Structure 1
């Protein structure tokens, strides 16, 4: 008797779903229940979180304390492997087992979005997928495609942007690249986990059209454009129901409407019930069996609040994806990551993500032959590589390049003999006089400052911590050749901006921080990034200023915070434009070491917005160095309540000095981002309304000098 006869799910000629069905049919009830959850010993996460908060520690300490085991136990007699899960999305994070395996620490996801370049997203996802496979893992928990509704959300660093289309495009490419390595990509956090404040308790109230046109949109793109294999359900409540129990999003939308065929895993400890979660469409509990244990599941089956077919359905969904990617046949044989090769790619990607925010008098790039250069800042930003956000997605780096080491490497490569020194400013600014004197004495000054956010907590406000604004204010003005380098995971307030000749946003870069920053400072690379999330001038300009019901929420008698998305569609640049508020740096903005002109804009439409619209433009490099510009297309939809513009297309083009290149952007009305459509309550779907649509073309949301008008007959 062959193995296939004894265990028919081993027959590789069958489809993945057929194999999954046969496997589940051959399992005992106890085996099924054991596969519904992770293998970590159950803990009281709520008590543990309170304990950590009281001790003033972070989620990194919580993870270390409880040795999170990210796996499902194997069942050898059935040929079911130990199912190994690792976090993302900024590299291979907290993988199965402790300590986590080291990996390449990549730039934060917000930085990747600043690239406005799908090819960079593919390269980024390829590194993650390759390293996940090399380390013998099966699942990468990412990409994260929640939106930057507020500038202070703790996990903005691991989400892409404030715009659903940009987030969707980048997320799709990252997903495809990860899954090309036969790794399950897991989009997160589904859905409306746009803040960390009281994430275990908060309830989000939102109008249907707002949820559909903004917050669900990138998830829809992951399903339809990337065939993503899994989603992670979020912690928060939605309309009074926990996301892990909300059948409307988990089943009606995700499966019936979008056709999703993968499985849904709970965020860690976000599962709140046995029968309720499984019936709603959650398929897998992580990291333990707090709810989907034998006692609970058998009791639910006994009282018929849960049916065995629902248990089987959950397992078939996950096993189908495991068979799809050949994970049953793949032996556990972890290898060695190409640290040098992947680091070089990360360095190349990272330099293309930086945003040049200000450059008065073309101070940047600095002349590598400058006599003396002093680097000044607090320890997190000048002494060590800025690895970025804390929490479960934190990567244990294979290596790091410190700022001073990177600067010296790059200057050596340029044949420079510049004298580079450093002053580490104390967190309490007690040695600020020393830093001030060093700035006065140097030929050029590089001030490094920033922000490292973390999962589990939102920022109090958008100011940098430890009085860095005062540090910059007191150091700027002492030397005319002073550059501010920001290392952020969120947009920050800049009350000192008028005194800064040049500001370069490099983000939290990860392992290659030192090299990337030096490449940019000395012109080895020309920055070409664009702002992915609007920088407000003041906290008062945000959608939640003076509106506690919008954030952090109010107690409306339910016993938990209720957050109302009452701003509607006016979020991000849509808020600033809709309210007529001028941002400090708007969405899509970014300077260069060269200059560009965008001319000969043509909008071709065979049938208005009822057929594909092709936008072309000639981009000419009018400066003296090679560089890249991003042509952006926005649409003004003729429907009440719509903001002035929504991003519907973009293309980055690289142009040599004095030469021109053509950007061609096709906007398909049938695309998964519904570029010309709005949510129609009457039909329960997206619809194109009759009227005149404004097509805006330019290089940022606030700079679209080329406009055409198209009609819709709908």
Structure 2
């Protein structure tokens, strides 16, 4: 039986969360209110460390610096009011830096970009379920994720934390991750709001972007998080948006987020992104992290005294956060950390990892390898061939409960299959000083598996689209000595592949996390059939990237204001939209992915309803597995808007992943609802200040990638 303190009406769990929050705030002193507006991190020279993090060039350096500032990620509790210590953890890719020192160990999952490659909302829910479960088990209240900024640039340092170049795919995956996290009574926090699409000069950069571009691309996945995911919190970004810092931008934080979208949660700053007291709170920021650089007693009381800040604004900020805490029962939950099911969650992570890998090339059925292949040589630098590839550096990096290294995982799977193949590893030094050994060892092997990749990091963008540390030379040396060389990419963003014509098979495995060794071996040996699809276009050449040679687009230019300004002059032409609009042939297009089997699409039909443009559109297709093994295919639906609107040729509006046994067929159905949150048939109108669906001819493109859409159906909308 719940005991209610009549002097503390906010303890009455039968009352609505917002009502309880208002009662609590009404009982607080000014000093207590101010103490709850900010985090309570205490670290020596914290701002110096933060500045260094922004300049870190490697994941190792970022991790070294981050270790010095992860002592506490919380808001101090107030015992007499029953306010618990509010514990916050990072984690788009698993429970990262949490409250406590050292940070708690958790399951290291594959990167978010890989999850998007699964093109499967079910996988996203399973992924979020692990994160939510572990956050709750560790006694944390908030998980800072998912991240839904777009891959505008293939070189952006935090692409590994984000999903895709496509806003709809990013939104679908983000919504499922959000729902799964919040099912565990954990607050999910969408980030980084908004246009934090690069790390270079992230504390200073101003992003200038047209309103229709902002609405149709960069805001869209956030809109989906709010409207479809009922997300409890949003994290504001570091950068400026049209000249105003994201933490002080009333248009994005209040006009759009709250007044137009109906967001009921609270907004937290990214760490040290707050730039003011009164201006930030007035704009719609509710909580400063990780400390009280701005929302401290001196600043807040001074702002109240000169009336640049009102007490009602402070109350509003606290009510917003407490409402979400009451919503998820966090006031009533005792701090009682539990042990994580490391093996159980690891098994799920392994399954997810195998379902997100992309078979990019497979000449002469080189893959899968036989369990009795003979001598298999795994070669590559330490981070990719010598140990489990855990992924990106920075605040989201997970301290793993355990790891499975590549050679060990390979041997485990071969043994489980009863195979006779042997596996040996050769770690190549980062300076390539032992590159000659690669040629010698490769020549003696039956099969070479070259593992190469990228470990990107928060705080720094990649200098180019090439593999770093001369890794292309490892592939070239291996294939020159042994034509039966398979390349396994373990990266967090697309890379150039100058050797693509000389190798018979390429598997994109991503930064896999703890179960790297097992998951990659499962795929190479055919225990699992790859079914991932490209979530972000792979360029054929460096000069094909949208920002190549154009500093206005990136990294920005100083227009006389003292900071770099980036202008999104490409407008809607981002990702596959860029390549299609410009007639550029990519190396691997968005949505592309091979399989160990073959599929055939047939019986495609489109029903537009009695009122085209208003009624939901139903797309049906039959998927036949015409090969010899079970596999999964992703049917994709794109729409071409009326030409006079000036948009790129296609936008993704629907997809469905279907698993089919060999020789069998399955029906797939996708519904494109014009009224859906992602506005599939609409464009933003400045005049109407709303999404509108103009008259004209629309074309649906149905197929298995953005470039392979053999089925087309057109319909006309009239005024």
TM, length-normalised to structure 2: 0.98
Which whole-Å CA distance do the structure 2 matches of 1:234 and 1:446 have between them?
Answer: 40
After TM superposition, the structure 1 = structure 2 runs for residues 618-657 of structure 1, keeping only pairs within 5 Å, are: 618-638=622-642, 639-657=644-662
Which whole-Å CA distance do the structure 2 matches of 1:122 and 1:20 have between them?
Answer: 30
| Aligned position for 2:586 | 583
**Residues 571, 383 of structure 1: alpha-carbon distance in 2 compared, 3 angstrom cutoff:** same
1:703 corresponds to 2:708: yes
| Aligned position for 1:186 | 189
Match of 1:356 among 336, 355, 359: 359
| Aligned position for 2:173 | 170
Which whole-Å CA distance do the structure 1 matches of 2:700 and 2:321 have between them?
Answer: 43
Shift of 1:58: 2.8
Listed one character per residue, the Cα deviations across residues 596-637 of structure 1 (whole Å, up to 9, x for unaligned) are 011111011112222100000100000000000000000001
Shift of 1:277: 0.2
**Contact 1:401–1:513 (CA under 8 A) maintained in structure 2:** yes
Which whole-Å CA distance do the structure 1 matches of 2:675 and 2:24 have between them?
Answer: 38
Match of 1:289 among 289, 292, 304: 292
Which whole-Å CA distance do the structure 1 matches of 2:53 and 2:426 have between them?
Answer: 33
1:617 corresponds to 2:621: yes
**Residues 376, 507 of structure 1: alpha-carbon distance in 2 compared, 3 angstrom cutoff:** same
| SS of residue in 2 equivalent to 1:12 | coil
Deviates more, 1:299-308 or 1:470-479: 470-479
Match of 1:381 among 381, 384, 391: 384
Shift of 1:474: 2.2
**Residues 698, 51 of structure 1: alpha-carbon distance in 2 compared, 3 angstrom cutoff:** closer
**Contact 2:136–2:184 (CA under 8 A) maintained in structure 1:** yes
Which whole-Å CA distance do the structure 2 matches of 1:402 and 1:343 have between them?
Answer: 14
Match of 1:713 among 706, 709, 718: 718
Shift of 1:6: 1.0
| Aligned position for 2:266 | 263
Which whole-Å CA distance do the structure 2 matches of 1:546 and 1:67 have between them?
Answer: 38
Match of 1:515 among 518, 539, 543: 518
Superposed CA RMSD: 1.2
| Aligned position for 1:234 | 237
| SS of residue in 2 equivalent to 1:347 | helix
1:23 corresponds to 2:24: yes
| Aligned position for 2:8 | 7
After TM superposition, the structure 1 = structure 2 runs for residues 399-418 of structure 1, keeping only pairs within 5 Å, are: 399-418=402-421
Task: Show structure 1 runs of 4+ deviating over 6 A.
Answer: 53-57
| SS of residue in 2 equivalent to 1:517 | helix
| SS of residue in 1 equivalent to 2:5 | helix
1:198 corresponds to 2:192: no
Match of 2:250 among 247, 250, 253: 247
Which whole-Å CA distance do the structure 2 matches of 1:67 and 1:226 have between them?
Answer: 29
Which whole-Å CA distance do the structure 2 matches of 1:248 and 1:43 have between them?
Answer: 36
Which whole-Å CA distance do the structure 1 matches of 2:311 and 2:411 have between them?
Answer: 64
After TM superposition, the structure 1 = structure 2 runs for residues 121-520 of structure 1, keeping only pairs within 5 Å, are: 121-520=124-523
TM, length-normalised to structure 1: 0.99
Shift of 1:462: 1.0
1:687 corresponds to 2:692: yes
Listed one character per residue, the Cα deviations across residues 363-395 of structure 1 (whole Å, up to 9, x for unaligned) are 000111111111111111111100000000000
| Aligned position for 1:665 | 670
Shift of 1:681: 1.2
| SS of residue in 2 equivalent to 1:504 | strand
Shift of 1:50: 4.3
**Contact 2:55–2:459 (CA under 8 A) maintained in structure 1:** no
Shift of 1:640: 2.4
Match of 1:102 among 102, 105, 118: 105
Shift of 1:406: 0.4
**Residues 548, 54 of structure 1: alpha-carbon distance in 2 compared, 3 angstrom cutoff:** closer
Which whole-Å CA distance do the structure 1 matches of 2:45 and 2:217 have between them?
Answer: 34
Deviates more, 1:621-630 or 1:366-375: 366-375
Which whole-Å CA distance do the structure 1 matches of 2:430 and 2:278 have between them?
Answer: 51
**Residues 573, 259 of structure 1: alpha-carbon distance in 2 compared, 3 angstrom cutoff:** same
**Contact 1:569–1:641 (CA under 8 A) maintained in structure 2:** no
Which whole-Å CA distance do the structure 2 matches of 1:209 and 1:521 have between them?
Answer: 44
Listed one character per residue, the Cα deviations across residues 56-81 of structure 1 (whole Å, up to 9, x for unaligned) are 66332222123341100000000000
The total of aligned residue pairs comes to 713
Which whole-Å CA distance do the structure 2 matches of 1:666 and 1:465 have between them?
Answer: 42
Shift of 1:428: 1.3
Listed one character per residue, the Cα deviations across residues 677-701 of structure 1 (whole Å, up to 9, x for unaligned) are 0001111000000001000000000
Which whole-Å CA distance do the structure 2 matches of 1:55 and 1:520 have between them?
Answer: 34
Which whole-Å CA distance do the structure 2 matches of 1:144 and 1:9 have between them?
Answer: 33
Which whole-Å CA distance do the structure 1 matches of 2:308 and 2:51 have between them?
Answer: 33
Which whole-Å CA distance do the structure 2 matches of 1:425 and 1:20 have between them?
Answer: 58
**Contact 1:439–1:479 (CA under 8 A) maintained in structure 2:** yes
**Contact 1:225–1:672 (CA under 8 A) maintained in structure 2:** yes
| SS of residue in 2 equivalent to 1:498 | coil
Q: Which runs of 5+ in 2 are unaligned?
A: none
Shift of 1:5: 1.1
**Contact 1:610–1:712 (CA under 8 A) maintained in structure 2:** no
| Aligned position for 2:680 | 675
**Residues 618, 25 of structure 1: alpha-carbon distance in 2 compared, 3 angstrom cutoff:** same
Shift of 1:437: 1.3
1:540 corresponds to 2:504: no
**Contact 1:390–1:453 (CA under 8 A) maintained in structure 2:** yes
| Aligned position for 1:34 | 35
Which whole-Å CA distance do the structure 1 matches of 2:422 and 2:358 have between them?
Answer: 27
Which whole-Å CA distance do the structure 2 matches of 1:217 and 1:50 have between them?
Answer: 31
**Contact 2:267–2:286 (CA under 8 A) maintained in structure 1:** yes
**Contact 1:355–1:528 (CA under 8 A) maintained in structure 2:** yes
Shift of 1:49: 4.0
Match of 1:65 among 62, 65, 68: 68
Which whole-Å CA distance do the structure 2 matches of 1:480 and 1:119 have between them?
Answer: 38
| SS of residue in 2 equivalent to 1:58 | helix
Listed one character per residue, the Cα deviations across residues 649-698 of structure 1 (whole Å, up to 9, x for unaligned) are 00000000010001100000000000000001111000000001000000
Deviates more, 1:170-179 or 1:464-473: 464-473
